[in-house]
Amino acid sequence: MDANHKMSNTREPQVSDSNSNVQSFIQIKALSKEFNGFKAVDQINLDINKGELFAILGGSGCGKSTLLRMLAGLETPSSGKILLDGEDITEWPAYERPINMMFQSYALFPHMTVEKNVAYGLQKEKIPQSEIDQRVKNILDLVQLGTFSKRKPDRLSGGEKQRVALARALIKNPKLLLLDEPLAALDKKLREQTQFELIKLQEELGVTFIVVTHDQEEAMTLASRIAVMKAGKFVQIGSPTEIYEYPKNRFVADFFGAINIFDALVIDQDDTQITATFDQSELTLKAYTDKTINIGDKVGIAVRPEKISISKDLPEDSNLTTSKGIVWDLAYYGNHSIYRVKTESGQIVQVSTQNQKRSSDHLVEWNDEVYLSWEQNSSIVLLD
C-alpha cells in the first residue's frame, strides 16, 4: 500500500527549472557561506514549491548542513538571499522565522518532559496555556506518543525520541520543516517504517519538507525531488528517477548505487546525438547534456548493472550494445544474482539479474565465456 502511494505520487521525471514563471514558495538566490576563506556553500540557487518534499543529498562536509542551518537562521549567509513566500527572510533571526527544524541528534531538552519539550515552541509565542495543552495533546496523539507525555527524553527509545523531535518541530505549524538526517540514528528496520510514516505525515499536513541526508536510498524513497550536493554546489537537481537514470556526471552516477563506466571515444556527433566507440563496440546515443561534445572527446559510457543481460550466445538483435567477457565472480543473493564479468579489455563489469525462475536453469558459471548486452538507450553519456 505504501509502495502504491509512492508510485502514484508526482514522481515522474520533471525538468527542474520548469516553474520559473510562477513564484516559488522558497527561493534561494546565490547563497554562499564562507568559513575563514573556505566556501562551505558556494552560490547556491534553488526554488522549492509549496508542499514539496525536497531532499538535499551529499557526503559529509559537502555543505548540506550549513545550507540547512542558513535556512533555519542558525547561520548567517556570507552573501545571497533567502525568500519564503515572497518575503526576504535572510536577515531574520532563527526565533522569528516560521521555519522549524528537526535536529540530527534530536536535541531534545534533557531537563524537560516530552510534553514540555513539545510545548516549548508554543510557549514562546505566548499562546494561552489551555490551547497549548490541547495542541500538545493533539500532536502527541498524531505521532502516537500520547502515553509518553510525562517522560523525560533519557527514558525514550531512539524511535520515540525521533517522534518527539518531529512533534516539537511540527507543533508550531511551520511553513517549512527542515529535517537534518532524520533517520540516521535509527536502526535499519525502524528506518524503513519511519520513512513511510514521514511521507504520510507530510502529505497529511501539507507542510513543505526539506530533508538533508547522506543516504541516497533515504533520499530516493522520501523525496519528490533531490539536489545532489558536492563541495558547496549542487551537481544535479531532479526527481529520483531522473537522477538515477540520467545522472549528469560520474559523481552523481557513482553516488546512486552501482554503475559500470566504460571509457569511450567520440567518433561522430550530430547535435545531442553522438557515436562513440569503446571495447570494440560502437554505439550511437543521445547525450543529456547542455555542453557541446566534439569528435575526439573522451567520454564515459555508463550502464547500470540491472540493465545488462548476460548470455552464453551472442544475442541476435543488432540494436543491442554487446561486449564479450569471462565470468570472474558470481554471487547469489536469493532474489537476484550478481555477476562480475571481465571483458577482453580487462575491465570488470557488474551485472545484476533477477532470479525469476528456480536455479536449475542457472546456466552461467564461473569462467564461462559470456556475452553482455543492453539496449542502446540504457547507456548514459558522462562528460566529467
Contact 178, 68 (CB under 8 A): yes
72 is a contact residue toward other proteins (CB under 8 A): yes
Q: What's the rounded Cα separation, in Å, for the pair 228 and 219?
A: 10
CA 4 to chain centre: 19
Give, as ranges, the residues between 169 and 198 that touch other proteins (CB under 8 A): 169, 172
Pairing of strands 336-343, 87-88: unpaired
Cα separation, 83 vs 123, in Å, equals 27
109 touching other proteins, by CB under 8 A: yes
- Tell the smallest beta-carbon distance from residue 220 to other proteins (Å): 27
Among 120, 148, 251, 371, binds other proteins (CB under 8 A): 120
Contact pattern from residue 20 through residue 59 relative to other proteins, giving x for each residue in contact according to CB under 8 A and a dash for the rest: ----------------------------------------
Of these, 13, 61, 93, 158, which contacts other proteins (CB under 8 A)?
Answer: 93
- Tell me if 99 contacts other proteins by CB under 8 A: yes
> How many whole angstroms separate alpha carbon 316 and alpha carbon 334?
29
Total number of residues that touch other proteins (CB under 8 A): 26
Among 92, 103, 148, 196, contact with other proteins (rule: CB under 8 A): 103
Tell me which residue of 347, 303, 353, 313 sits closest to 331, measured CA to CA.
Answer: 353
164 binds other proteins (CB under 8 A): no
Q: How far apart are CA 258 and CA 309, in angstroms?
A: 16
Which span (24-32, 165-173, 297-305, 355-363) binds other proteins, by CB under 8 A?
Answer: 165-173
Provide the CB-side half-sphere exposure for 333 (13 A, CA).
9
Binder among 83, 107, 185, 383 for other proteins (CB under 8 A):
107
Rounded Cα gap, residues 384 and 382, in angstroms: 6
- Positions touching other proteins (CB under 8 A) are 69, 72-74, 93-96, 99-101, 103-105, 107-111, 120-121, 124-125, 168-169, 172
